[in-house]
Structure 1
Amino acid sequence: MPQIEAEYFDGDPGEGRRDRVRTRRIAGTRARAALTDVAPLIVGVVSGATLLLGAAAVGGAWASGEVPGRSFGEGPAESAAEAAQALGSWLIGFGFILFVTMGRRAYRDASARRTIGILWDVGTFWPRAAHPFAPPCYAERAVPDLTWRMCTWTGRTGGRLVISGHSQGSVLAAAAVWQLPADTRKRVALLTYGSPLERLYGRWFPAYFGPKALLELSSEVDCWRNLWRRTDPIGGPMLITAETDPAGDGCDDPTDVDRQALKDPVVYGRSERHPLPEPILGHSDYQAHPDFAKERAALLDRLTPAVPRQAQGSSGRSSA
């Protein structure tokens, strides 16, 4: 908690008074957001425990000569099989209850609906060839359409684009930019915020969104800036470092993608400049941060010389 207070009060006396409750609330939000980073470890531990329990059940049944679910003897192998079977039955029941509870909560709680919607977006991004039980893939329609629009606009006007994407929109934007021809890709700048590209997709699907793939994308687009918060449970930094790019090719510096973490809340407490308490936004409303407009303006200034004038009926921005 002292680190959080130091971020707000060091060098800025106008942040108001220190409040232990406010500090704990910010720290709690950051701690819950950080749980996303340990999700692979949790999944690995649960999967390993399930495998061991299943193996113990099969081994106990084989050693005792009994079919699981029927009578067991008194030996350690039989006891292990019985315990594994009982635990599996409880876990199945718990999973069903959890599924029903989340379904009912989605009708009453907007945040629960948002969470389920995010999971649905992730599941429907991949085509059915990757998962036979997946719902229809919207990316098969959205990515080619966005790619066609970027190619058509840049080809017809000779201008450049800043394509911005939030959350799952940043994944669609990156996938669309990857499909562009090389000459068109050099005239496109990316602005991503609250992006799960590295934090979720890069860790669960490293073959498609791993460090090398993200570095390649950064070096091929005109420029790329990524905004993130420590309170965001979904979005995070791209972590493209100089170690993965010894040549330093591409835009001014392809490793200079991540901006310093945005403050959330923007200000710590109430003061004369900010009479109302600022909310902790987490994954939402990145556009409300004052630094968002600065970063967007910097990208537009970089692209301004090649962008046609508004009088020609063209626009230099696009979003996903």
Structure 2
Amino acid sequence: MPPPTPAPRSTGPALELLVHGVGGTTPQDMLVDPSTVRVTGDATAAIYRRSIDVDAEQHPERYREKPVAEAYCWSNLTSGNGSRALWLLLLPFMVINLAHWMRPIARRRPRAIRLYGLLVRLVALSLTVLLTAAACEVALDLTAWQCAGVPVCSGRRSWLGFLSAEQGGWWSQPGRRLALAAVVPAALVGLLWFLSNRTWSAYESQRPLTGAADADDEDEPGEAPAPDPVRPALGRPGFWYGRRLVARLRAAHT
């Protein structure tokens, strides 16, 4: 039986995180204080504190008997135009990303940690290849090669008329049909790059409030976490600040 995991250590004041429901509310109502200050985040989602609690980390002696209340306001995350539905394309990749952070604790086993990280990255890469191959199958094989090359199939679909081999147009040549259909998987990869770039610039590039300049390099997926101090995954800088790491992963996938 493995030894129990030691409790996380903290030298600062305790925090009490308040999160509103789907109805949304203001940070002033959540903190029951008309004077609040945004400590991190942006206009879409942010964390607020009371004005008197902004410098709580510099005066921990004031909060030995009570936690510092913080309000997380996320109501704007669910508002926007219909293009926000395109984020669903990144949902499978988000699940793969969570697989890394759900890795069981394996202290003093760096090889196992590196192997786990390698397998997760291979699964993520195979997911990218699978998505691109599916787009190629539909656009190049089923549509441009098979359907456009058979008069019975292309005749039933007027939008394929200019690709039909029976009409003998400029685009009816097999090579030209395939070249035109290749725009579909290329556009899909471009869309994934655009969405991931927006996510990277809006969230992963936001430097934490505290931490070193290279905090994103502290928790590389292939490296074992530092044994001292013991911190939960949510408290590690690399969980929130992945500017360099996510940029490399984006380049590998797109």
TM-score where L is the length of structure 2 = 0.27
TM-score where L is the length of structure 1 = 0.23
